[in-house]
Structures are given as C-alpha cells and as structure tokens.
Amino acid sequence: MKTVYITEQGSFLIKKGREILVKKEKMVLARLKSHQINQLVLLGNINITTSVIHFLLKEGVEIIFLTAGGRWLGKITSTHSKNIELKKAQFEMAKDEIFKRNVVEEIVRAKLENQKEMLRRLQLWSGRGVFNEHISQINVLLGKIKNKTIDSLRGYEGRGSAIYFSAIKIFLKDKEINFAGREFYPPKDEFNSILSFLYTLLLNTVLNFLILHSLETMLGSFHTPEYGKPSLALDLMEEWRPVVADYLALKMVRNGDIDNKDFYFPEKDNPPYPELLEDFRNLPVVLRKEAIKKVIASYEGRMQEKLLFDDKKMPIKNLIEGQILLYARAVKKEKEYKGFIWR
C-alpha cells in the first residue's frame, strides 16, 4: 500500500486523463498515477474537485483528510466490508468476556514489553544505566497482569505509561525539545506535538487494515466503545505506539532531525498558514510545514524497516497487517490473539 501526502497549503488537485495533477497557482507540483497509489492524505487547505474524487473512488484510492496540524478529520473510501460472516463473529465475540479479557491482557502485555524495549534503547543511546529502575518497575507490572480483570489491566497499562514517560522526560531534559509529560489533545509542548502527529498516522494505518479485512473498527475491548470512536483501531495500535511513534519521535530528536525551530507557537509567532488561522488559534504548539514533511518521511521509512518475527524479518507495515489478520482469526476461534513483542 503506497500512501501519498499532500501538504502544500492552497494547492489543488485536478484530473487530466488518468493522472491527478497537484497544482498551486499555475505551477504543477506533482503528477500522480492512480495505479501507483492506494491512499491519498490531504493535510489542511487542499482543494479537490468532484471529478478527482469520483476518479479516485473508481480506482480504489481512498482519500484521508487531516488538519494542517495533523488532526484526523475523516476519510472517503469506496471499500465496503464484504465479509459479513466475520462481522457477525466479531459481534458475537463482543459478548464473550473471557475472549475480551484475554485480548486486552495481550495488548497490555505487548505494550509494556515494547515500552521496556524502547527504554533499553534509550539506555544504549544514553550510554548509562539511568533507566534501570524504570525497566524494573515495568517488569513488576508485567508479573502482575496474568488473569486480571479488564479494568485492572487498564490500570496496569496506565501505571506502565506513567513510568515510561517519566523516563522519556529524563532523556529529553537536556535536549532543545520540551516535554513536560504525556499530554493528550491539544499537545502543550513540542515533543507531545510530534507524538500526537505520529499517533494520528499510526491510527490511520491500523484503521485502513481493519477496513480492508472487514473488521468493525468501533468494536473494541481495551477502549470502551463510544459514539464515533474507533475503539478496535485504538486497541490494536497500542502495542505499536512504542515501536513506531515513540521510537521515531525520540530518534528524530536525538539525531537533531527536528528541533525547536520546527515549531510554531500561535501566541507569539505569525501563523505559518494565514488562511488556516482558526485551525491553530487554540493550539499551544504546532509543527511547521517542513517539519510535518520530515515526520511523514520518517514515518513512511519506518513502515518499511524490517523487524524480527518468527525467525524472519518483515517490514513493520506487514507486521501490523499480520496482527490485524491474527485478530480476525481469533474472532473466528481459529487461533489465540498474541501481541507483537519488539526485539
């Protein structure tokens, strides 16, 4: 699956033959061939004609809309669920408390293990054992999660994340990027801004695979189902947060690929996109246009990196899809769901 991101504010898409032209004023910025892409992601003020939408839907290319700052808005897709039997099985298993508890335990176990692995890498990057205590505390939590209730497992996950992000805060204390601790939307500092954008990209990847394989995205177990909330997508992205988003954000800061000049602060800076002032007015910090491009490029590169799984190396994007397929098999009672452990 190839994803193309359009980030140039004020650009517009038109159809010419079997090509999509990305233009700004009279300049052609890019030419896209529909057979070479599966997904088009539009960030912010990107104009798209009805003829382009119709053409892309016929070609099976889905269109994703994000704000210029990377917040999810919605999608247009021609893909409809074809596997009704899988959906029926999924709704039946939603009544099975043992199944749900076992899946949640695996999600929490995998996330804690992967957070621990990220901390091990921070140890290597730091060249000292400053995070030994944090790793030990996560090990203690891992020893307690067996056969616990879903509510208890949510509590262990929350404690693990508190330990984990306190370690990340220590790692970042002498860096140019500020991090006061994990904050949800809106992000209040630079590192949270990077994380939030990467989590949006990761959620989009998981959502796409769920839809592709006919799973109901809103029927989760770890995240309680709510109106408009893609609970299953949020469930199945949990184990990948440290592997993909956290790792990338930390690596970019460590390597100097992103610094405090890559951020816009609405209270004191002129807006990077004047026509989108309302999108940013209430946000404490926003990634600038060039920074967004760097983060997207890093994310797409990470999706192609190979990790070890069952004694062979596979691209991360394939591994994520494999976990969705494993969940589908678990729903059909063919195999137990096991979380992906990063090594």
Is there a contact between 239 and 319 (Cβ–Cβ < 8 Å)? no
Q: What is the CATH number of the domain that holds 312?
A: 1.20.120.920
- State both tokens at 192: 């949270």
Q: How many domains does the chain have?
A: 2
Could you report the per-residue pLDDT of 37-72, keeping only the tens digit for each? 888 999 888 999 899 999 988 888 889 898 877 777
H or E element: which one contains 13?
A: strand 12-16
- Assess if residue 337 is contained within a domain: no
Q: Are residues 64 and 105 in the same domain?
A: no
Q: d(Cα 157, Cα 188) in Å, to the nearest integer? A: 23
Q: Judge if the upstream peptide bond of residue 186 is cis by omega within 30 degrees of 0.
A: yes
- Assess if residue 234 is contained within a domain: yes
- Assess if residue 266 is contained within a domain: yes
Q: What is the CATH number of the domain that holds 26?
A: 3.100.10.20
Alpha helices in the chain (DSSP H): 50-58, 84-93, 97-126, 132-142, 150-172, 190-212, 231-237, 247-254, 277-280, 289-304, 316-331
Could you report the per-residue pLDDT of 206-220, keeping only the tens digit for each? 998 998 898 999 999
Q: Are residues 60 and 201 in the same domain?
A: no
- Assess if residue 111 is contained within a domain: yes
Q: Are residues 147 and 30 in the same domain?
A: no
Q: Are residues 69 and 207 in the same domain?
A: no
The DSSP code for 246 is I
Mean residue pLDDT across the chain = 89
Which string of DSSP letters, residue by residue, matches 157-170? Answer: HHHHHHHHHHHHHH
Could you report the per-residue pLDDT of 127-179, keeping only the tens digit for each? 778 899 999 999 999 999 999 999 999 999 999 999 999 999 999 998 888 89
Query: Does residue 272 surpass a pLDDT of 70?
Result: no
The domain of 63 spans 3-76
pLDDT band at 126 (very low <50, low <70, confident <90, very high): confident
Q: Are residues 39 and 100 in the same domain?
A: no
Q: Are residues 146 and 180 in the same domain?
A: yes
- Assess if residue 206 is contained within a domain: yes
- State both tokens at 146: 């067996």
- Assess if residue 339 is contained within a domain: no
- Assess if residue 280 is contained within a domain: yes
Neighbours of 36 (CB within 10 A): 9
Domain boundary among 49, 76, 103: 76
Domain boundary among 55, 76, 97: 76
Q: Are residues 180 and 314 in the same domain?
A: yes
Q: In whole angstroms, how far apart are CA 149 and each of 102, 154, 191, 238, 337?
A: 9, 9, 33, 18, 17
Which string of DSSP letters, residue by residue, matches 111-133? Answer: HHHHHHHHHHHHHHHHTS-TTHH
Neighbours of 146 (CB within 10 A): 8
Comparing 13-17, 96-100, 111-115, the range with the smallest average pLDDT is 13-17
Share of the chain above pLDDT 70, in %: 94
